[in-house]
């Protein structure tokens, strides 16, 4: 009888320890879930995934190059240093380089 009582006490203790561990795991999972669905992390992860794509990088560089060459050709044109054909050549070179 005493032996069964000790076995029962050990089993109860083991189950209580398992319950504490399960509760801690559940809390960690809940906090990870909350962090993953926060709007800031969602935006950050989306931007990170977008920047991994080589197509996005290429398109972004092409856009920046086009804007830069257009800006420079307009600045040069405002000072009268370049006329139409020269301005077109600068824009063409800027687009081809980038």
- 33-91 pLDDT, tens digit each: 888 888 887 788 777 777 776 676 677 777 777 777 777 766 666 555 556 676 677 66
What size, in residues, is the chain? Answer: 98
pLDDT at res. 82: 52
What band does 16 get if pLDDT is binned at 50, 70 and 90?
very high
Identify whether residues 10 and 42 lie together within a single domain: yes
Identify whether residues 13 and 42 lie together within a single domain: yes
pTM for the model = 0.40
pLDDT at res. 11: 95
Range of the domain at 65: 53-98
Identify whether residues 44 and 3 lie together within a single domain: yes
Last residue of a domain, one of 35, 52, 69: 52
HSE-CB for 57 with a 13 A CA cutoff: 6
pLDDT at res. 77: 60
Identify whether residues 58 and 46 lie together within a single domain: no
Identify whether residues 10 and 23 lie together within a single domain: yes
Identify whether residues 16 and 57 lie together within a single domain: no
From the list 76, 31, 18, 51, the residue with the least C-alpha distance to 90 is 76
What's the number of domains the chain is made of? 2
Identify whether residues 78 and 33 lie together within a single domain: no
pLDDT at res. 84: 65
* Residue ranges of E strands in the chain: none
Would you tell me how many other CB atoms lie within 10 Å of the CB of residue 74?
Answer: 13
Please give the C-alpha separations between residue 1 and each of 4, 8, 24, in angstroms, as whole numbers: 5, 11, 35
């Amino acid at each position: 009888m005493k032996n069964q009582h000790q076995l029962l006490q050990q089993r109860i203790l083991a189950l209580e320890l398992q319950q504490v561990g399960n509760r801690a795991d559940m809390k960690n999972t809940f906090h990870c879930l909350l962090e993953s669905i926060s709007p800031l992390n969602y935006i950050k992860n989306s931007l990170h995934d977008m920047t991994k794509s080589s197509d996005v990088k290429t398109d972004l560089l092409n856009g920046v190059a086009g804007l830069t060459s257009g800006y420079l050709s307009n600045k040069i044109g405002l000072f009268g240093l370049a006329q139409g054909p020269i301005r077109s050549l600068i824009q063409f070179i800027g687009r081809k380089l980038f």
